[in-house]
Amino acid sequence: MPNELNAGFVAAGAVVVLLLIIIISNIKIVSQAQAMVIERLGAYVKTWQTGLHIKIPFIERVAKTVTLKEQVVDFAPQPVITKDNVTMQIDTVVYFQITDPKLFAYGVDNPMSAIENLTATTLRNIIGDLELDATLTSRDLINTKMRSILDIATDPWGIKVNRVELKNIIPPKEIRDAMEKQMKAERERREAILRAEGDKKSAILVAEGQKESVILKAEAQKQAAILAAEAEKEVKIREAEGEAEAILKVQTATAEGIKLLNESKPSDAVIAIKSLEAFTAAADGKATKIIIPSQIQSVAGLATSVKEILSTDKEV
């Protein structure tokens, strides 16, 4: 009897432990930015969001765990042909996010492969309408078109395409060589233009410098001529002032002499002699004939007589 009781307790304990294991194994915690797609007896029943959840053992199961964060997929280079029949390799980077876990789980088998194939097909269609030069210079246009087309195409799969970028565009080797030669020629052309512009500016600056030098030299000569004219004018003014002052002094002296003569009350003989001296001075030794008034002649004779008498006295 005790053995049967012990066996019963052991069986009960095993059952309890088994139940605990089953319960614990069916407790699920959904992390942040994740979702779980739940099936019941093989049919979709619900989607678990972040938090603690318990599923029914043996009836429900987690069909798919989905990451809701934005994901980045870098696809291998794809061969594409441009409108002008140039074959090149282009690899793309797709940024996408799962918005509906149910559609992502049941919408398409192997969603990453589906997105890759859809991206390659869309890229070939877009590049096929563009020539090589347009392809190389229209990345933004190509990115926008691809994002729009992929976003619409992946809506039934519960995927939101946020951005598409062309990572590398690899033309054929001969095209790359031609492009390098073209870029080299373009750089050389720009260098020649810059050099010519530099020479032109240098010549202009030299000419302007020479022009400024000539202008400054002419201005200096003009200023020198003005200063010389002003100096000459000042000299003439000083000479004229000196002559005027000399004349004034002569006139003043003459007036003083006349005044003194008037004050001394000279006789007629003295006046006649002074008149004679004035005539002699007026002749200045250059006149050959001088007409002397009669009254001055008599006085002159008197003056001669006096002079002779004075000479005789000196001899005696």
Which H helix or E strand runs over 165?
strand 159-170
Q: What's residue 131's pLDDT?
A: 87
Is 87:79 a contact under the CB 8 Å cutoff? yes
DSSP state of 172: -
- Tens digit of each residue's pLDDT (9 = 90 or more) over 58-115: 888 888 999 999 999 998 888 898 888 888 899 899 999 999 999 999 988 888 899 9
Is 157:97 a contact under the CB 8 Å cutoff? no
CATH 3.20.20.80 applies to domain 71-171: no
* Residue 66, SS3 per DSSP: strand
Is 53:36 a contact under the CB 8 Å cutoff? yes
Q: Which residues does 90 contact at the CB level (< 8 Å), separation at least 6?
A: 77, 78, 80, 123, 127, 166, 168, 169, 170
Tokens of 31: 């992390």
Is 48:68 a contact under the CB 8 Å cutoff? no
DSSP state of 287: -
- Between CA 95 and CA 93 the distance in angstroms is 7
**Dihedral pair phi/psi, residue 14, rounded to 5°:** -65, -40
Q: Where are the domains of the chain?
A: 10-67, 71-171, 267-316
* pLDDT tens sequence for the chain (316 residues): 556 666 666 777 787 888 888 888 888 888 898 999 999 988 999 999 988 988 888 888 888 999 999 999 998 888 898 888 888 899 899 999 999 999 999 988 888 899 999 999 999 999 988 888 888 888 889 999 999 999 999 999 999 999 999 988 888 888 778 778 888 888 888 888 998 988 888 889 888 888 888 898 888 888 888 888 888 888 888 888 888 888 888 778 777 766 776 666 666 655 666 665 655 555 555 555 555 555 545 544 544 544 444 444 444 4
Q: What's residue 35's pLDDT?
A: 93
Tokens of 53: 């959840």
DSSP state of 56: P
Q: What's residue 21's pLDDT?
A: 86
Q: What's residue 236's pLDDT?
A: 84
DSSP state of 297: H
Q: What's residue 84's pLDDT?
A: 85
- Tens digit of each residue's pLDDT (9 = 90 or more) over 213-248: 889 888 888 888 888 888 888 888 888 888 888 888
Using CA atoms, how far residue 142 sits from 89, 188, 242, 314, in Å, is: 15, 31, 100, 144
**Dihedral pair phi/psi, residue 47, rounded to 5°:** -120, 125
